Structure 1
Amino acid sequence: MLRRDLLAGLAALAAMPARGQEAGGTGDAAASAPTPDDVPGLQLGDASAFSPDMVREMARSRAEQAYERPQRIPKAWTEISYDQYRAIWFDARNALWNQSGKEPIRLDVFPPGLYFPTPIDISIVEDGNTRPLLFDMNVFDTSDQFPDLPVDESLGYSGFRLRAEIENPGIFTEFAVFQGASYFRGIGAGQIYGLSARGLALRTADPEGEEFPEFRAFWIERPAPGADGVVIHALLDGPSCTGAYRFRLVPGADLRIEVSCEIFARRSLENVGIAPLTSMFQFDETNRDRFSDFRSAVHDSDGLLMHNGAGETLWRPLANPASLQLSAFGDTDPRGFGLMQRERDLDGFGDLEALYHRRPSLWIAPRGAWGQGSITLVEIPTDDEIYDNIVAYWRPAEPIAEGTSRSYAYDMTWSDQSDYGTGLRVLNTRAGQARAPEGQLRFAIDFEGADTLPSDLDGVEPLVRATAGRVNSPTVQWNRETGGARLAFTLEPGNAGIVEIRAQLRRNGEPLSEVWLYRWTA
């Protein structure tokens, strides 16, 4: 599956509302109204025994066998247009647990078709038993724009979304979507969908091409009345590996997801990404001159934040390079990393429709020691905001050998928070040609203020280093608008094709701010 096709589809379809529900993670009372007799509701099949160990055993057993491609839906379903796919939608009155009204969660399903050719198995777990969610075309509504397509036993749901009362009592608002390969998305209260997460990344930016393993089956535990969240088990399968996953989702002002997984390698996994994140960055103040656009900036995320095992907090502004760029930040036992959206004002974008200032940041906090490896950042050139072009993940130093398995656990926080780690945060980065002398570039980095930061900046000094070229005239100024300090300097790259820059504010010889990292390319 083409990366751009899949991600463009996810971006568009995440905003597609169910009937009685507005786009962007908001809903109305109709979405949770009692189900009348003439509305079928989602139906469950016969019960069988279930335990989480069964998912692990399925993954282990499959990894010992040759990979079998999943059954696909009829080709006619994948040849429909985007507008035709939008002409079929889930009737939210049919949501699972809508009839009883006791559970704190509502579950909706997505139809197959277009970008989603693989039906997935969804089952509901209760009292040690599991019952499959039966595919039923009657839970969907269609307009006259939806074509007459073949319906047979190969059809199945392409994914699901979850809703809860996270903003107003009685109104079940969408907070998570699982659909397409191993992709899933989440939001906190008042946010709209932006970046995505994946179960696993394989061979990202590899010349041989990327592999997209798929979540083939989900087991969703029926939440008890009054529960604060929901538990989901999932089976991952692909040509190179399988995986057993457990997610615990707790919606609210922030969406928290606890993840644990065990990866079973069919073949040696060398270029493997743990806790992968996918986002979009087109332009901001660092490359605004390349785009003719009425907006000030266009991005779902503006930086990669890292809190490394040594206790340093690193901020790497994202870029839209002229050619694919790969950056690896070596570390041992990282404390956390994530793609952040730090700009939170509408004026920072000027877009009344996309509302980029309401897109979530996503922070990954490892549980346990992850050992040696690198936080890896992939930046892909893009000329349009519909394409996700940013990928970040943890790449372990040691491959997962064929016939072995490896376990990971981590916590995810989807929110508007972006101040993980220590030190004064970077608020903004500006870059462009210096007026003089010719050939120099000027950088201006704004840091947040703090009660301990004196307005005369007494004792505050800049530390700026570059791997090539020459850094000139680093100075620290007070920025009255932000109430913090601005670090400015010029870079004379000379004949260098790539320059890595590292900067930090220090006070009396001690770190005062995050470490700002930047890669300049000719």
Structure 2
Amino acid sequence: MFERRDVLKAALGAIASGLAPAAHAEAPPAAAPQPPAPSPFSRDMIVELARALAAKPYAPPPAELPAPFANLTYEQFVGIKTKPGSAIWAGENKGFSVEPLHRGNIFTTAVDLFVIENGAATRIAYDQNRFDYNGLKVAEKLPDIGYSGFRVILSPPSGAESELAIFQGASFYRAVAAGQNLGVTARGLSIRTADPRGEEFPAFRSFWIEKPSAGANALVIHALLDSPSVAGVYHFTLRPGEATIIDTELTLFPRTTVDHYGLAGFAAASLLTPLDRRRPDDLRAMVSAANGLQMLTGAGEWLWRPVSNREELQFSSFVDVNPKGFGALIRNRDVADYQDDDQHWERRPSLWSEPLGEWGEGAIQLVEIPSESENNENIVAYWRPKAPLVGGASATFAYRQFWCWQPPSRPPMAVAMHSRSGRIPGSKLRRFVVVFSGDVLADKDKTARLSAALTTSPGSATNVRTFTNAQAKTCRVVFDVDPAGENFCELRLVLRADEEPISETWLYRWTP
């Protein structure tokens, strides 16, 4: 009989010493290792584990790897494949299966994986028989080096299996809806992102995955997070469907007071858009895993902020109280918008997050980082609470994420589908074109009273014109911006019928 305090003591001691609950570097296991003995599990146990972990000094997880995995190139690492049929629960008709992922390349940190069944947790020992090493010279018997994360596979009773989500690297995870490619990356927690004091990257140290019952349409995952500043416990519930929904509940236990942290954060790549000044010699019309940042404020205003690859690091802050939702959206779903038959950016997921409960005062932070590569996730956004995390206390939050083609909450008005800008030949002015689309633009009464309410700060806008097309349900707004010698200009545009807003609010910061 295990006592809960004994289980906590053993687990905490192993984590605090930088080792997994079962040592990764002890005597080599047999070629086909036997699963470790199960131990009692409860959600409260992980909460207490996180609380106890936060009361101790931080110890980093192990990152050392034996040959040949210590210095793998990217090509060698991605060449390591999981053998068919080796996934956990493969062939058991559970609706889901789980593939542990190998360590190597940038994913060197060891993560412990457990499976929960009948109230007991069993650690998944490293098994080299799971993998095809694609020509790497691997020892006949390897030590238990653990894993870097795991992939969730949707395994319906009838039909082909498909990737649903992946948890790998720091506190990062990604998911897709049916028919999509992996794109935007979610963050379990952001700390001092792009802060002059230096960013801290919290990491999931352990995952406990509940074995689903037959016919279940949800997968429950528990996670223990740790960093020099914060320990925490996460509870994820994944539900596949037309959109893949992930409900997240988290409790944070800061070791010290943290004044800059982010919730429901995400990162996405944006190399080239029609608004960018950074135009590489690229045949593609657009290279971006997120067309913009959508926000629904606590006051009910819909905001749309296109994102761009900047010449210099840019920060934008959208102050709010109790936000209703925000996320990275793909609105341009035609392959012609991108002209990329290999990457298919139009198939990337939109990610929409809705707070569950009130989050109080704070701001949605947007960071746009200069990038020369489409492999860099240079667009980062998150909710930054005004209240700090206080050392020695705890804080609990919850939110729901939709990985989708279209978010469930959408503006009941015209939306900005396209934005372009360019220098006017022979002039210092810049011309912008913003194309709004929506059913309201087929309403002749509304369009007869339509005007474009545009503000600039600093600088000024001139030559503002609107071109409506009732049949296409669009309105093109064309305007010229004079920054008046300044190196930035904040733009705000909304369509009105008299004083009634009939579009979302389009926001953008022009920089030279």
Establish whether TM, by shorter chain, passes 0.5: yes
CA contact (8 A) 2:230 2:256 kept: yes
- Confirm whether residue 319 of structure 1 aligns to residue 308 of structure 2: yes
In the alignment, the residues of structure 2 paired with residue 41 and residue 470 of structure 1 have an alpha-carbon distance, to the nearest angstrom, of 71
CA contact (8 A) 2:114 2:121 kept: yes
Secondary structure of the structure 2 residue equivalent to 1:476: strand
In the alignment, the residues of structure 2 paired with residue 44 and residue 193 of structure 1 have an alpha-carbon distance, to the nearest angstrom, of 32
Q: Which residue of 2 aligns with 1:300?
A: 289
**CA shift at 1:475, angstroms?**
2.0
Structure 1 pair 373–162 and aligned structure 2 pair: CA distance change class (3 A): same
Q: Which residue of 1 aligns with 2:239?
A: 250
CA contact (8 A) 2:413 2:439 kept: no
Q: Which residue of 1 aligns with 2:228?
A: 239
Summarize the alignment of residues 106-505 of structure 1 with structure 2, pairs less than 5 Å apart: 106-144=97-135, 146-148=136-138, 153=143, 155-165=145-155, 169-287=158-276, 290-418=279-407, 420-435=410-425, 438-450=427-439, 453-455=442-444, 457-479=447-469, 482-505=472-495
**CA shift at 1:135, angstroms?**
1.2
CA contact (8 A) 1:462 1:505 kept: yes
TM-score (norm 1): 0.88
In the alignment, the residues of structure 1 paired with residue 249 and residue 455 of structure 2 have an alpha-carbon distance, to the nearest angstrom, of 39
**CA shift at 1:262, angstroms?**
0.7
For structure 2, which runs of at least 5 residues remain unmatched after alignment? 1-30
Secondary structure of the structure 2 residue equivalent to 1:290: coil
**CA shift at 1:83, angstroms?**
1.9
Deviations 1:498-519 (A, max 9, x none): 1111110011311110000000
Residue 515 of structure 1 aligns with an amino acid whose one-letter code is T
Q: Which residue of 2 aligns with 1:82?
A: 74
**CA shift at 1:291, angstroms?**
2.0
Residue 175 of structure 2 aligns with an amino acid whose one-letter code is G
CA contact (8 A) 1:240 1:265 kept: yes
In the alignment, the residues of structure 2 paired with residue 95 and residue 307 of structure 1 have an alpha-carbon distance, to the nearest angstrom, of 40
In the alignment, the residues of structure 2 paired with residue 86 and residue 269 of structure 1 have an alpha-carbon distance, to the nearest angstrom, of 36
In the alignment, the residues of structure 2 paired with residue 277 and residue 482 of structure 1 have an alpha-carbon distance, to the nearest angstrom, of 33
In the alignment, the residues of structure 2 paired with residue 357 and residue 288 of structure 1 have an alpha-carbon distance, to the nearest angstrom, of 22
Summarize the alignment of residues 31-110 of structure 1 with structure 2, pairs less than 5 Å apart: 44-74=35-65, 76=67, 77-99=69-91, 101-110=92-101
Q: Is the deviation greater in 41-50 or in 192-201? A: 41-50
In the alignment, the residues of structure 2 paired with residue 448 and residue 348 of structure 1 have an alpha-carbon distance, to the nearest angstrom, of 16
In the alignment, the residues of structure 1 paired with residue 88 and residue 488 of structure 2 have an alpha-carbon distance, to the nearest angstrom, of 54
CA contact (8 A) 2:440 2:473 kept: no
Deviations 1:410-457 (A, max 9, x none): 000001115624421110101111246x11111111111305633582
Structure 1 pair 408–377 and aligned structure 2 pair: CA distance change class (3 A): same
Structure 1 pair 435–228 and aligned structure 2 pair: CA distance change class (3 A): same
In the alignment, the residues of structure 2 paired with residue 148 and residue 49 of structure 1 have an alpha-carbon distance, to the nearest angstrom, of 35
Secondary structure of the structure 1 residue equivalent to 2:161: strand
**CA shift at 1:482, angstroms?**
4.3
Residue 160 of structure 2 aligns with an amino acid whose one-letter code is I
**CA shift at 1:521, angstroms?**
1.2
Deviations 1:84-134 (A, max 9, x none): 2233211131111114x2311111111111111111111111221111112
Structure 1 pair 353–386 and aligned structure 2 pair: CA distance change class (3 A): same
CA contact (8 A) 1:43 1:133 kept: no
Deviations 1:356-406 (A, max 9, x none): 000001000000000000000000001211111010000001111111111
**CA shift at 1:206, angstroms?**
1.3
Secondary structure of the structure 1 residue equivalent to 2:47: helix
Residue 501 of structure 1 aligns with an amino acid whose one-letter code is L
Deviations 1:271-318 (A, max 9, x none): 101111010111111127722111110000010000000100000000
CA contact (8 A) 1:42 1:94 kept: no
Secondary structure of the structure 2 residue equivalent to 1:162: strand
In the alignment, the residues of structure 1 paired with residue 313 and residue 379 of structure 2 have an alpha-carbon distance, to the nearest angstrom, of 10
In the alignment, the residues of structure 2 paired with residue 150 and residue 402 of structure 1 have an alpha-carbon distance, to the nearest angstrom, of 48
Residue 51 of structure 2 aligns with an amino acid whose one-letter code is R
In the alignment, the residues of structure 2 paired with residue 386 and residue 452 of structure 1 have an alpha-carbon distance, to the nearest angstrom, of 38
In the alignment, the residues of structure 2 paired with residue 165 and residue 483 of structure 1 have an alpha-carbon distance, to the nearest angstrom, of 41
Secondary structure of the structure 2 residue equivalent to 1:93: coil
Structure 1 pair 151–159 and aligned structure 2 pair: CA distance change class (3 A): farther
CA contact (8 A) 1:424 1:512 kept: yes
CA contact (8 A) 1:367 1:411 kept: yes
TM-score (norm 2): 0.90
**CA shift at 1:321, angstroms?**
1.1
In the alignment, the residues of structure 2 paired with residue 222 and residue 360 of structure 1 have an alpha-carbon distance, to the nearest angstrom, of 27
Q: Which residue of 2 aligns with 1:16?
A: none
**CA shift at 1:224, angstroms?**
0.6
Structure 1 pair 150–270 and aligned structure 2 pair: CA distance change class (3 A): farther
**CA shift at 1:158, angstroms?**
1.0
Residue 88 of structure 2 aligns with an amino acid whose one-letter code is L
CA contact (8 A) 1:71 1:154 kept: no
Deviations 1:316-349 (A, max 9, x none): 0001111100111000000000011111000000
Secondary structure of the structure 1 residue equivalent to 2:439: coil
Deviations 1:476-503 (A, max 9, x none): 2114784311111111111111111111
Structure 1 pair 480–420 and aligned structure 2 pair: CA distance change class (3 A): closer
In the alignment, the residues of structure 1 paired with residue 147 and residue 438 of structure 2 have an alpha-carbon distance, to the nearest angstrom, of 50
CA contact (8 A) 1:95 1:108 kept: yes
Runs of 4+ in 1 over 6 A off after TM superposition: 40-43
Residue 460 of structure 1 aligns with an amino acid whose one-letter code is L
Residue 45 of structure 1 aligns with an amino acid whose one-letter code is P
In the alignment, the residues of structure 1 paired with residue 309 and residue 243 of structure 2 have an alpha-carbon distance, to the nearest angstrom, of 29
